[in-house]
Amino acid sequence: MTYQETLDYLYIKTPMFQSIGAGAYKPGLQTVERLSEMFGNPQREFKTIHVGGTNGKGSTAHTIAAVLQSAGYKVGLFTSPHLIDFRERIRVNGRMIDESEVCDFVDRFINRGGEELQCSFFELTTVMAFEHFAKQKVDVAVIEVGLGGRLDSTNIITPELSVITNISLDHTALLGHTLVEIAREKAGIIKENVPVVIGESAGEVREVFRSTADLRHAPVCYADDSNVYERAEAHDDCIIYHSTPWGEIRAELCGDCQTKNAATILCALKGLAEIGFEINSDAVADGFANVCRLTGLAGRWMKVSDNPTVICDTGHNVGGWSYLSERLKSLGDKLHMVIGFVNDKDVSGILGMMPREAHYHFVKPSVPRGLDADQLSVKAEAAGLQGSVSQSVEDGYKIALSQAKEGDTIFVGGSTFVVADLLKFIG
């Protein structure tokens, strides 16, 4: 098959959460274990770091990978979803897997009778990544959990370190309707005798992590309590962290949520150093300052234009918007919001957090799960927000551009897929 035919197979023949949502989720590890065995259990051939949580796990995984890469390690990175190219999910030292290798893996899967396993898209992609990392002989791979933790396809690894960023209400139909229930699922990546870093936690959620770590004899570090930097100094294009174990650090990622992520990342780096990884101050500084260039990370409070200022962000749940809303409210009526969602999110909860004075452009992301823009407009009106309706991100963005005045800001987001549509349009 050609590369495009292979992508069509992956997207159409295997259930894909990005397209159909909950129908693609396969709880349990039996299928991915059998699939991995079919390819020789490649996940056993390299060291791994496992990163889960509700929000921030992508930024955390990419930054850890960037630091390790700067420290001289050959680093695999497996993340999801992708924004433009499927191959963004599987990288080694920032370079995406070759198209030919994607095709070859799928051909061998079919020829070996793999279709009898009825794999999901994510199961197939996970093992593809593991085999690629084994072939590339990486020193270590940073593996981002897809959904949940306990029953996620990535949970067939035994990592050197586990990281759980935070817990928020997301994917409640699959993971549970309370923070405690979701925490139990996320805590499933904590392994016997493997140290774990917990980002944000309190009360009953922390107790879930504490009891799970105790049960599995896993040393635990709580980033909330770590004082791993003295203070964070925010600028328009960076955040400077003072008095870290590696000195002053200038971080490229400057969304308001990143100060929490940074504490988690720094605790993870300390943990890695304690178990033998060689990470010096130059590597930490370079990884934080150049994470997007080193790993290909995009869509995290990302400026895509200066005239007018255009920002996009993939924040897509109440937890993520608890940070985004405060920063956006400060822009008042100089803000234009190009907003869209998928249909399985707590849209009303997020809309209630959005700035009232902004000018809104409601759009539909170009995935089957995309919430119709007219329906979004009705929900927004109930939340006290009014604006224009467009059936594509491109059209809504063009209208916002035509209406923006000097000094205005355009924000594009609400969903990873809205950001993906924007980046595809602007090239």
Q: Check whether 120 has a pLDDT greater than 80.
A: yes
Which residue has tokens 């551009």? 401
- Mean pLDDT, the chain, rounded, equals 92
Residue 196, helix vs strand vs coil: strand
Please, which pLDDT band fits residue 291 given cuts at 50, 70 and 90?
Answer: very high
pLDDT greater than 50 at residue 295: yes
pLDDT of amino acid 174: 54
Locate the DSSP E strands across 348-424. Answer: 359-362, 387-389, 409-413
Its pTM stands at 0.93
Q: Please, what CATH class does the domain formed by 302-426 belong to?
A: alpha beta
The single-letter DSSP state of residue 175 is H
**At how many degrees (to 10) do helices 179-186 and 203-215 cross?**
30
Domain residue spans of the chain: 3-295, 302-426
Examine the pLDDT at 24 and tell me if it is beyond 50.
no
C-alpha span between 68 and 88 (Å, rounded) = 19
Q: Is the pLDDT of residue 16 over 60?
A: no
CATH superfamily, region 3-295: Mur-like, catalytic domain (3.40.1190.10)
Q: b vs e for 2-37, b when ≥16 Cβ sit within 10 Å of the residue's Cβ?
A: eeeebbebbeeebbbbbeebeebbbeebebbeebbe
Q: Can 3-295 and 302-426 be said to share one CATH topology? A: no
Peptide bond into 42 cis (omega under 30): no
Q: Is residue 312 scored above 50 in pLDDT?
A: yes
Average pLDDT of the residues in 159-177 = 77
pLDDT at 427: 82
